[in-house]
Each structure stands twice: as structure tokens, then as C-alpha cells.
Structure 1
């Protein structure tokens, strides 16, 4: 940002105009595959299998009766397997409601592009249902009607997801048509993590058990009767409760039979630090001289809450930022001091950033932020706290003090899925970030590191493929969190570097290895990258080791002998990002957490090395959007530019728009989408027109938080994991405001849509996470006409689970729109500031001081 005229960002509320009515544009249905050759014979086979289930139900009924389960709740889990090479059709109604069979989970047969262990796990699609006696009877009746139906081929070529019998077809028609086998469900059928991780030994294991809330009491009674130990506290979601138990497979199978409560089983997790032994800081550093330069932060300064291994708060550089009454533990038996050094390193980074520049300076160190610490990765004391439970406890304990804070989670939930699907811990992070929809929380989370150890050193040949082979770890797939990867930026020092400058740090994980089912939601992680150090290639050209000259300097645990330490990898990058987020809140204390996250992405840029990857991918894939998505899955949106993050300039304007809308309403007994909002932006129209064909850039970022429903993912409804979704559309060149509204909202009056072009976008087909960004490049005169944005809702679980009564809630969102023009192109802010009513400004527009 070369322009010397620096301003505070334009921060607006109340700019959006609500639509009176809203109708989302429609779409087409999916095509059906091969039909059953002999429907009557197929029905007879399935009926015979259902009859076997009715016999087995007697055994389940006796066990549940002994456990005092009410008769209306007693039943048996059944597995329905699809026909080979065919998709098992489970309708949206079956996947989202409790009418009829209770759908527990769906496992799809892996595609050819997925890992070998997944391809070998199952050969066909499989769905697991819970069926009571009356449900099995209804299933048999529906199968009889299915076998007798003589509707022919007419009307069954297109699959329209209407499987409830409301048309001429029998109920469950498509489910029966695509089924091959109905049988008793096993523990492995209830296992929703990769099957190669299913416990195989007779010994006891930690299991993460997902339960039906209405049957939890019977589950707990069955546990007590079997003397099975629970670990940590229960975690409650909208339609499920999660508990961790320590049991053998045979014991858990008896609990399944006796309670009927288990929805799914997964790997249990706890937090783990990717702790790499770093070289010691060998140079002499004057600790006292640095400590004397510190000016303590004000009492109301934003805090970075370090969720880690604890912090050594007596360190001279940390003591002014971290009083003893702000050090906690997730479990009362754990000491809140740092038990291995990782948390102390993260605290120094979260407070000061890279201390390499700081220790060599002479000016006062004026602190605008402060620290908190919660031990979530406890010492090896025998007390275990599941990762999901530790995060919730940490938030509860610090929020006894109503301060502004950013949560720094540089830990990963070891043992949870790395496939990009929601886990218990990522769902808790989403739930806590959403809060009540008004008081939200910002979690800055590490994507995790590819493993390397002294006995298995990192190999040079691994660099190009290792980051794809090790996908992003939980909880960084959280939709609401700011997920951070690591990049190697430092140039100084000797030796041969493994990662080119500006490229991915050697161990930073990516989402390139996430399976293709993520096309259902199409989001990528990380969101941004920060410095994470580099490795040196050793003599012999095979092995590599961390390079201290390319790591980040921070506070160390061994004071006073070794008060400084080196740090690297994604935990370091995460702490550095938390540092920036807290400084942003210190600069703009009125900003929402959604806005802070949006600005971090909007201010990020790809390095030359990343751009080279993008150009190569574009040549290989032949399209910009595919190449862009691939690069985002490695680097996110790049490295935040601190100048642009904190201030606008004459030639680089940032508009921050905060607003809210109500996604749903109840009408005629049904929940439907309610409204969109249209934003006519204060736009530097005259300057842009005067620049004519000059190439300029616009970035649009939409950030909002969702309330999660994690069991939706097990039911093959990733699109119903979020409570709602939002999307944005920008007014096109050659388009009127009326046309721009009509294109998004069919309830608007028709208007002429011709001659409106939308080229120039980097993505176009945008990601569907809750942090959505796209970049437009083109001629300035075209940008002059693109002066409006619409934000509209997309369906989520709030629109389907009526009993939750979320249909009348409003949700906050943030829009960040930035314009970049060449230097000396005119002062964009000078034109814009005269177009903004003072009533919309959160704070006056003024120069940076």
C-alpha cells in the first residue's frame, strides 16, 4: 500500500434494504439410474429379510424391556445395503425428519479417487435405520405395495426426491428400488469414521458414542448395569448427545441392544500438540532490556485466550500481559502452569508476533492486547478430558469475565476424522463460535502438521506430496473458525531450503486430500497462512531438519537460563494470526467477530510462489475456478497484508458493512425462506469512470456464523449441517438495480436481464462455507457500474427441524468490499466519504493516527 494517505476503514451498519418477499431461483432434479428388472421378485426378497428382522426384534425387545425402555421406543437397528454400483436413494425427508424409519447414518461406497483403505471398506452404499415393531410392519406393507405397483416406466425416469408416497408411487419407492439387502446392523455399521480405525482387539477402548437425546437415560442405565466407565462430560447438540465411554466391543454391543439409543460410533479424541524439538537459541539476548521497554496494555484490552498446555506466566515478557487470575485449566486437577513449553511459546507469539525484530529494537513496546490461558491439553496425570469437552469447559471458565477475546487453538484433536466432515470437536467449535447468534466468538485454529520424528526424519522427496497425503486435522474443518496453515517466508540464513520462499511450509496440512463428497458443500481450508518456518536439506540430499534461522523467535519456558525459543509449523502460524486478530479488535473495538474474520481473508494475498502454482494449475485444468479452488485448498487466500488489514488508503478502499437478516419464516404451517437484503454501496463512481480501461481489482468477502447440526453429516446431509447458509451476488456491468434484484429473488418484478456480463471473477462458482470470498479484475469503468450487492439465504436445518423453533431468528453477517487501483489514481476515500449518511457510520471517517 504505497499511498501515503491512510484512513480507518469505512464501517457501516444499516445500509441494507430488506425485500418485501423472497423466492429463490429454482433448479432441476437428478437423473435416475438402472431400474430393477423384476420388481415383484425384488420385493419378495426384501420382505423375507424384513421378516428375519421381526424375529430378531424379540431379542432386542426383551433386553430393552429389562432396561425399562418404554414399549413405543423399543426397536432394532437395521442396515439397508444398496445394489452394487448403484446409489442408495435416501430421500431428503428420511434424512431430515423422524417420520417412519429413524435414519441413523449413511455410508457411501468410496469413489476411485479415495484412499485404498476407504475403497476396500465397503462395496456398496449402506444406510442404518432404527425400526420399532410398528415401523417394521409399515415397512412390510410398503414393500407389498411396491411389489404390486404396475406404474411402468412412466414418471420414474427422473429422481425428484419425493419418496413419501404423496404421488402415484408407493411410499419408499426409491429406497426399495435401489436396495439390495436388509439385515441387522452391527457396531461396524454404526461406525462413521474410516473402517480401518474400528477397534479390532478384545480389550477396552475409548469410544465416542452419539446418542438420541430422548433415550439417553436408558443408555446411562445400561452403562451402569455393565459397570462401563464414562470419560468427561456429555456434549449436547440439537438432535444428538455425545459421550465418551471406555468399553470393550462386546460390552458396547450389549448396551446397544439394551438401550436402542446409539446413533453412531466414532474415534474418541483428546488434544495433542505437534511439538517439534527446536534448536536452542544460542545468541545472547538482553531479556531485561526488552522487559524494561514494555508498556502494559489497558485493563480493557482485547485478549488472546491461549487454549494449550498452559503458560509460564512468570516469564518477564508475559507477566504484564497475564495476571495469575487469568490462568485456568479445563480440569481442576491439572496445574495451570505450562507442562511442556508449547503454550508459553504460543503466548509469546500471540502477544508480540515474531520477536526477532522486537528484541533488536530500542523503542517502547506499547501493548494494545493482553493474554489469557487455559490448559486444554493436560499433563499425563491419568485424568482424560475429550477434546470437545475441553474446549467448552475452557470457554465457560474464561467467560466469567466479560472481556473481548480471540481464542487461539493451536492444538489438534488427535483421533478424529481428517476427511473434512464435521466431528464432535469441530462441531463444538462451531457451536461456541455461533453462540446465540448475537454474541459470537472467534476461534483461530491450526490445520495441523504432517508427522515427522527424530527416528523418521522428514525426507526431501516427501515435500511435493506429503501435504496432500495428510489432510487438515480436526477441528480446523469448523465452518466458523479461522483455519490457519503455514508458509515459509524468511529468506535469510545459509543452507539449502526445502520449501521455496513464499511456498507451503514443509509440514503444513491441506484440504487437497479431502474426498469428493465435499462437493456437497465445497469449502476448503485453510482460510489464510502465516509464517511457519522452513527446513534445511541435509548433506546426502535425502533428509531434512528444521532451520532455526527460518523459524520464529518467541518466549521460552526455561527462564531465566533460556528465556527465548524458536517456534514453527502451523501452531506458530495460528498464534501469529491470533496476534493480528486481537490487534485488529484493539484498533476497531466495535467490530463483530464475523467482521474480523472477513478482514483477515480480505487483506490476504498469494505470494509469487503461490501465484506460480495457480498459473500451472490453470494450464493443467484449463479453467480459472478449478485452479483457484485447488490453490485455496493449499494456501487459503494467502498471507494477510498488515497495512491493508488495519487501514485503507487513497488508492485502496475497504468498506465494512455489518447487517442482519431473517432467513426463515413460518407460513401456512411450513417453514420457508423469508427475505434477502440489497446493498447500494457508497461507490467512487467518478474516479473509476475517469480511469476508463485501467485494470483495477475488487474483493468481496461475506462472513457469517452458523449453528451446527452435526448428525446431519452422518445422515448424508452435509448441506443441512449449518443452520442456514448465505450467499452474495454483485450487480453486473450493464445491469439495472431491478435486474440485479430479480436475478437473486424471483419475487421481484421481472426486468430486462440482457447485456449484463459477469466475467472477471477469480472463482465465480464460489465456496459454500461461512467465509465466502471472490476477487474481480477488470476495467475501471465496468467496476464503476458494479455498485450494489445482494445477500440472500440458502436452506439449512433451521428450515426443516420445526421443533427447534429457529424459524423466526435473525442472523448477523458482515460484508467486506475492497477496491484497489494503481497509485496516483485519485483518492477513493475522498469521493466515498461524501456519499455516506452519518447515521450509517459506526465511527467517523478519519485519517489513521
Structure 2
């Protein structure tokens, strides 16, 4: 009989890094693909179009009063590419002249860019076109060729040029909608100017706003005709989008019988310590009167975004999430006699109003103010924010929204220093076409806003539930096989490859029952999770499922890790959750088959499952044959116009133990977690318009590589001129750099011989570019970037101890017994 695994604490390893100047060994991209044009004629046409735009603007202004005319300090031009070609977006952005690319959209094969041009600066483009026509560069090519030949047409921008949302959602004439208005934040009274015009034009503006680098976001109610007037008269609008709205066994036992089970469990519960971490439920409120919740939910931990809404749960969803976040599936612990010691407490912020139709809101503002409520009440508490609330929208297809970007901003601590851990649901499928081929629905419905947040842990749902106990459902079968994706879960399969893979992890979210004729599927209690009921005076237990339940379960695990390791950063808790994840056998089978095809199928499946199902034991503990090292560090990625530094970590390594294992197979797993600062304006997402402030990557020394050779492989600044070309590849990783280097959370594992791993003890963390560097005028380039690095060595050999040799080195280094 196998011995139980001894629980050993993960090893927090300080002072492993040495910083050194860094320059990327990767060269820039290739030359842009340009459409064939006749040089003189092309230049002449563009000059005519620029003049026509200027004359059209003068004609419009002649019909307006002086006040309206003086409200504008520039104009907007729209540039279009030739079909099938890209615009040179970077060259349309000229900060020194105040010229700003404000919006980019693709309509079929044509790319459109809307550009703000200050008064008197149209000449910047006229000059470039004239020089293109008549002058050559030193290379013998026409001057400004990449810019001018990428432009097929120039015209004065109209309202549609600012619409960066789904084109099919652009409103018809005379129909009033809630617009999400993105304003250019030029620090010259932008919001006041827009509000002033809105008041004169009967446009209703929301009370709250969000602020991002170079952008302010507000909601406005009006028609396209009203909004067109604001575009023509003002010069403060950058983008327009459509505002989003948020939708608002034991379970079958009679209430007295449920009460008996709950009473028995209550006797076995030890309340959490008052200084322990918390799961903060951002939902419909929580009913504290429930006997299983009152033990961990102090009255002072109940809040509401709007105090007029009250604190109690008007819907039921929030109380159900609280039960999962505190206990997990109650069906697993109610029949037991084992004591239950709670290690974390609950907090609740009611972020959704009581039932009834309400105006849409900027849910980024709602989230930010709700976060502030709990932090004012308990500023030093470690907490995991659990948000099982999402829109029913997935039209962004991975592109940041104002809500997801605000969550990224809050996570990053960009404005107020504290970093925060968010766990967000992927969102449940909205269709009812769930049946034998349910996976096609999972893969064509994208993750719902704000699940595209880079910094949050986005949680999808899988299931191990297959037993249907209801006798009235004889002949019914489970929709999903054990270990497969839950029928309710959404994925990022329809997102473009540039966006992070989501979900990050999957947790139990229940299954559905399929009718004998295989045409109907329903949620049934025996395939769901048991939790707390919102009306305990009537009933104590309820069932729940989907990505909401999965998210609450993930938040519970995050709080458990924090209870054990209170000094760990939010970035570290996030890393350990993902680091502990494993694919089920059903997932592994699909992944192995897809990888053999060497196509997009492999990434496709990663966009369904993320990194798999977190393992509680792995997340919390190391073992003699499975040691986990944790590093928390920070580096400065950039100087004003270049990369600045990288870190070389020399790790405490069990070299002798690994050498003794020889040809035994071992696994090295690495997770790198950091938070980016967002810049969510939709301007093409390339170079200076990147969403992320910075990126970090990791590399590991090869078995036969010296420290100096490794440095030269990853760092151009470490190379001498005579070194020539050096290979930068490192084979043997399961994902490889192309698949793992998405978003701000990177994980990969390597399997090889213990003898080879014995010499792979040097690890580099280095920066890749972002808007901190590409937009130096925002003065963020000097910021330091925190990161958490989790490194595990695992072997199946039960008699080998790789933990103690590492622990001994850490103890010598720190002087602290491990």
C-alpha cells in the first residue's frame, strides 16, 4: 500500500538573481507588404484627397455658429488600406506634431484608421506625400514609401470611423442607445468639453467615468445623429462602442432534514482566524443569516456598491457562490464526520441592483468602487476577489473592453500600488443547442466580458459528474464524459492568436443530463454542486453549476494558499494555482492526438482547457520527490528608448540527487506570473499601441551550456562581435515559446533525464517591449516590474529526496530553518 505523501512547505528562495544590462537577440520584423502602385499617379491622388477633405471641413464649418467652430481644435482623417494589405499604422501616429491614431478597424479585407490631426498639421501628411512623389531615400526607394504606398484612400472621418465594436451593432438612424464613449485625454478639460456639448445636444451622459493612459471612458445615451454632431464639432472623441449590460439527494430533501444535516456540520466547524485571508464575493449580495456562512462572514464585511440597494442577496446567486467559496461542494463534507477547520473568511460587495430594469453602467467603475469599499474596511487583508458575474457578450473576441481593462488596472496597482488577485468566470453558454455534439457550441461561443482580462485568472468549467440519481430520469445519460469540458463552459477558440489563451484553469462546474432521444439536455441536481441557499428560513441547501461555481471554487483554493503562505504576492498565488494544474486523462488524450497533427488543433484545445484542473495538494505543498521553489523579484524592463536589464537566477539545485538518478525521467515545470498595466485604446495593438505595458519571458540553460554561453544565447548585450550568430532555440519543452508566450502568465514543462536536468540550474527572466517603452512621453518607462517565478522538479521515484538538498541550500543562504 502506498504511503501518504508527506506535506512539505514550498521553498521561498530569496536573492537568487543578478541583474545585468539586456538587449534582445531577436531582430526586428520583415519589410511590410505593399500594394503595387504607379508612384506619380498614387501621390497625386492622395494629395487631391487631402485637399478635398480640407475643403469639406471648411464647408461644414461655414454652416455652423462661431461657438461650435471654436469648440474644435483639429480634425479627424480616415485612412484606408488597399484590400488585402495593411496600413503602416505606426507611421500615421506622429506625437511630436500632436497627430494621434485614435481608432483602427477592419471591414472585410480593408483596414481603416481614424487619425486626429491638430489644426495646421495636415501639412505633415501633405509634405510626406509630396516628398514621396519627388524624392528618393538613401537606399534609392521613394521617401516615406512604407507609409504612402500603404494608403489607398484618405477622407474626412465620419461617425462610423470611430466605431471599433462589431459593425453589425452600429445603430440605425434615429435609434437612441447607450454608447461607450472613449475620449482623448489631452489634459485640457476633455470631459468637461464633452459634457458641455452633450448638454446642448440633449445627449445624456452617465455620472461615472474610467481613466486609462490617454483615454477617458463615459457612457452616453443618444442617437447616431446626435453623436455625429459631437464628432463633427468636438475633437475629443477617440472611439465609440456599444455599452454592455449584465443579466441579472441533499437538494431534494425536505427542509427539516436539510436542517439536521447542516446542524451536524455546524458542530464540526472551526471558524477562520480574524487575521486570515478572505474571498471577496462581488455578486448579488450574500445572506449572512445562513448558519453555515455566519461563522465566516462578519457583519462589517457586508458592503454594497450603492447603499440604497441593501446588503442582502436579492437574487440567490451571491449566497450560492459564498457557500462554494467557503466549503466547496457541500455534498462532499455533509455525510462526513471529519472536523472542518476554516482558514479564510468571506466578504461580500453587492455589485448588481435589485431586480428590475436599470440603465447600463460602466462596470469597471462599479468594480473599482466596490474594491475600494472592502479595502477601506480592512486595508491589510489578503483577499481573492471572486467575480462570477459577466455580460452575455463575447463580441470582443479577446480584445480588451473598458471593464476587463479596469480589472487589469486594478490588478496591476498602476495608480495606487497594491496589487490585487481577481478570479473571473469565463461565462456560461447562452444557447440551448446542448446535446451530443455540445463541444462545437463550447468552441464557437467566446469567453464573456470581462473574462479577457490579462491579469485575472479566468476560470472555465469541466466536470467529473456522471451519476444521475433521479429515478424519473431513467435512460438519461450525462452530456459530457468524465474529465471533459462542462457543457456550460465558454472558450477562447474564436479569438485571434495574438490574445492570451483563456480560460487559465478549469474547475468542477457540473454536467447536464441528455434525454434518451438525445434531443434535450437539462441541469439536474445530481450532476451539480451542493451549496448554501439564499433563503435559509425556507431551505438551507441549493445546487449550482457552471463557470460561476467553478470560479468560486478556484477562489476558495486561492485563499487556502494565502492562508498557508501569507507573505506571497497576488502574482505568486496566481502562479501557484496555475502551476498546480493538470490536464485530466480525457484532456490529455485529446491534446496528444492534436499535437501529432502539428496544426492549430493543439492550441485550439489549450483555449478550451487552459492549463487544466488545479491540484490542491500540489498548490499547497511540496514533497520529497516533488520540490517547488518560489521566487518573488522585480526588475526594470526599460530605459527611455531601450530595454534595460534582465535577471539571471542561479537556483539552489539538487545536483547530486539528480546525478544519482541518471537516466531516470524527471519533469521541470516553470511558471512566470506578472501583472501588466493596460492601455486599451483600439489602435491596432502593435508597437506603440500595444495593450500591455511590458512583457517578461523566461529561458533555462541547456544541459551542456556554460553560464557564459547561456547569457550570450538570451542576451545580445552579452555577446562579443566575434561571437557571430548564436542559436537561441531550446528544444524539449511541451509548449515551446510560440505557445507559452501569450498574455502575462507563462507556463511550460520539460521532461528529460535527471542527469541532463542536474546542470540546468540557471534561469533568465528578460523583458520584451510594451507601451511603457514605446510611448515614452507618458513617463512610465522607468517603472519596475514585479514577477513571481515558480519552479518545480518532479520525479516518480518514491525513494529519492530532492527536497532536502534544496532546503539545506536555502537554509544556508537565509539562515532561517526550513
Alignment TM-score, normalising by the size of structure 1: 0.89
Question: Which of 629, 644, 648 matches 1:674?
Answer: 644
Deviations 1:264-288 (A, max 9, x none): 0112123335xxxx98566942222
Asked if 1:553 corresponds to 2:530, the answer is yes
Question: Which of 750, 756, 771 matches 1:776?
Answer: 750
- Partner residue, 2:809: 835
Q: 1:487 to 1:420 in 2, by over 3 A?
A: same
- Partner residue, 1:362: 337
Displacement of 1:416: 6.3
Q: 1:719 to 1:800 in 2, by over 3 A?
A: closer
**Bigger mean CA deviation after superposition, 94-103 or 808-817:** 94-103
1:201 and 1:487 map into 2 onto residues whose CA distance is 44
Please give the secondary structure, in 2, of the residue aligned with 1:572.
helix
- Partner residue, 2:375: 399
1:676 and 1:527 map into 2 onto residues whose CA distance is 26
Please give the secondary structure, in 2, of the residue aligned with 1:815.
strand
Instruction: Give ranges in structure 2 of 5+ residues lacking alignment.
Output: 470-475
* Contact persistence 1:192–1:714 (CA under 8 A): no
1:128-207 correspondence runs (5 A): 128-149=114-135, 156=141, 169-171=142-144, 173-207=145-179
* Contact persistence 1:733–1:758 (CA under 8 A): no
Displacement of 1:146: 1.8
- Partner residue, 1:705: 675
1:762 and 1:270 map into 2 onto residues whose CA distance is 40
Asked if 1:45 corresponds to 2:38, the answer is no
2:516 and 2:219 map into 1 onto residues whose CA distance is 47
Please give the secondary structure, in 2, of the residue aligned with 1:557.
coil
Count matched residues: 796
Deviations 1:506-528 (A, max 9, x none): 0201111113xx33xx5200111
* Contact persistence 1:303–1:582 (CA under 8 A): yes
- Partner residue, 2:390: 412
- Partner residue, 1:580: 557
* Contact persistence 1:80–1:126 (CA under 8 A): yes
Displacement of 1:151: 6.2
- Partner residue, 1:300: 275
Displacement of 1:381: 5.7
* Contact persistence 1:64–1:259 (CA under 8 A): no
1:815-830 correspondence runs (5 A): 815-830=789-804
- Partner residue, 1:10: 11
Question: Which of 181, 191, 199 matches 1:209?
Answer: 181
2:533 and 2:230 map into 1 onto residues whose CA distance is 48
Question: Which of 493, 516, 524 matches 1:539?
Answer: 516
Q: 1:369 to 1:558 in 2, by over 3 A?
A: same
Instruction: Give ranges in structure 1 of 5+ residues lacking alignment.
Output: 109-120, 157-168
**Bigger mean CA deviation after superposition, 566-575 or 714-723:** 714-723
* Contact persistence 1:105–1:716 (CA under 8 A): no
Displacement of 1:778: 1.1
Q: 1:122 to 1:75 in 2, by over 3 A?
A: farther
Q: 1:221 to 1:544 in 2, by over 3 A?
A: same
Displacement of 1:175: 2.5
* Contact persistence 1:735–1:753 (CA under 8 A): no
Displacement of 1:578: 0.2
* Contact persistence 2:326–2:556 (CA under 8 A): yes
- Partner residue, 1:224: 199
- Partner residue, 1:650: 624
Please give the secondary structure, in 1, of the residue aligned with 2:49.
helix
* Contact persistence 1:492–1:550 (CA under 8 A): yes
1:342-357 correspondence runs (5 A): 342-357=317-332
Displacement of 1:40: 1.2
Displacement of 1:808: 2.1
* Contact persistence 2:466–2:511 (CA under 8 A): no
Displacement of 1:691: 1.1
1:367 and 1:241 map into 2 onto residues whose CA distance is 43
- Partner residue, 1:164: none
Displacement of 1:326: 1.6
2:730 and 2:711 map into 1 onto residues whose CA distance is 15
Displacement of 1:2: 6.3
* Contact persistence 2:685–2:691 (CA under 8 A): no
Q: 1:789 to 1:752 in 2, by over 3 A?
A: farther
- Partner residue, 2:424: 445
2:340 and 2:69 map into 1 onto residues whose CA distance is 65
1:341 and 1:69 map into 2 onto residues whose CA distance is 53
Please give the secondary structure, in 2, of the residue aligned with 1:54.
helix
Alignment TM-score, normalising by the size of structure 2: 0.93
* Contact persistence 1:104–1:715 (CA under 8 A): no
* Contact persistence 2:646–2:766 (CA under 8 A): yes
* Contact persistence 1:605–1:641 (CA under 8 A): yes
Asked if 1:506 corresponds to 2:490, the answer is no
Asked if 1:390 corresponds to 2:389, the answer is no
- Partner residue, 2:633: 659
* Contact persistence 1:688–1:780 (CA under 8 A): yes
* Contact persistence 1:331–1:385 (CA under 8 A): no
1:621-636 correspondence runs (5 A): 621=598, 628-636=602-610
Question: Which of 739, 743, 755 matches 2:709?
Answer: 739
Deviations 1:521-570 (A, max 9, x none): x5200111000000111121111111321211111112132211111110
Displacement of 1:81: 0.9
Q: 1:642 to 1:832 in 2, by over 3 A?
A: same
1:614 and 1:144 map into 2 onto residues whose CA distance is 55
* Contact persistence 1:487–1:529 (CA under 8 A): yes
- Partner residue, 2:472: none
Please give the secondary structure, in 2, of the residue aligned with 1:395.
helix
2:413 and 2:67 map into 1 onto residues whose CA distance is 36
2:799 and 2:481 map into 1 onto residues whose CA distance is 34
Q: 1:67 to 1:25 in 2, by over 3 A?
A: farther
1:545 and 1:2 map into 2 onto residues whose CA distance is 42
2:184 and 2:728 map into 1 onto residues whose CA distance is 51
- Partner residue, 2:473: none
* Contact persistence 2:426–2:490 (CA under 8 A): yes
* Contact persistence 2:49–2:155 (CA under 8 A): yes
2:642 and 2:45 map into 1 onto residues whose CA distance is 40
Q: CA RMSD of the aligned region, Å?
A: 2.5
Q: 1:462 to 1:249 in 2, by over 3 A?
A: farther
Please list every run of at least 4 consecutive aligned residues from structure 1 whose deviation after the TM superposition is greater than 4 angstroms.
59-71, 278-283, 712-719, 749-757, 837-841
1:248 and 1:545 map into 2 onto residues whose CA distance is 41
1:237-386 correspondence runs (5 A): 237-272=212-247, 284-285=257-258, 286-379=261-354, 380=356, 382=358, 384-386=360-362
